[in-house]
Amino acid sequence: MSKTEDDERFRVRADKHRHFTALHAVGALDYGSSRLLKEQADAALKATDHPRLVIDLTEVTFCDSTGYGVLMYALTRVRRVAGSLVLVGPSTVMRRRLKRLGVADLFDTRRTVEEAMEAFPKAT
């Protein structure tokens, strides 16, 4: 695989913290790659009774309608189990698209993972 192809390949790294799980997405979030983010979100949500999930989008280079669908899917799943979801660092284009889709206000959005940590009440 060439360096360019490797850079374009979508990846998700899950980091488990004491009070939340952070999914760090890298690359193009599209029809071919969105399944990976969905699977990682499902795994994080199944791992605890009261899930707190951060999806870090700071390194997402592109997002199509399937990607936005996965973000809505994650939000719906989190709310179904009384959890919390924070999106970190969506690009200006992504924020505009979420607004145009009429769902921007449904998401808690922060600039950094550190800011997202502050959004969650401390678990007992």
66 is written with which tokens? 């399937």
Q: Residue 4 pLDDT more than 70?
A: no
Task: Provide the residue type at 98 as one letter.
Answer: L
pTM as predicted: 0.89
Out of 6-10, 13-17, 61-65, 112-116, least confident range = 6-10
pLDDT tens-digit series, residues 72-118: 999 999 999 888 999 999 999 999 999 999 999 999 999 999 999 88
Model confidence at 57: pLDDT above 50: yes
Q: Where are the alpha helices (DSSP H) in the chain?
A: 3-8, 34-46, 65-80, 92-100, 113-119
The answer, yes or no, to whether residue 58 has pLDDT greater than 60, is yes
Residue 25 is predicted with a pLDDT of: 97
Average pLDDT score over the chain: 89
**From the CB of residue 50, how many other CB atoms can be counted at a distance below 10 Å?**
10
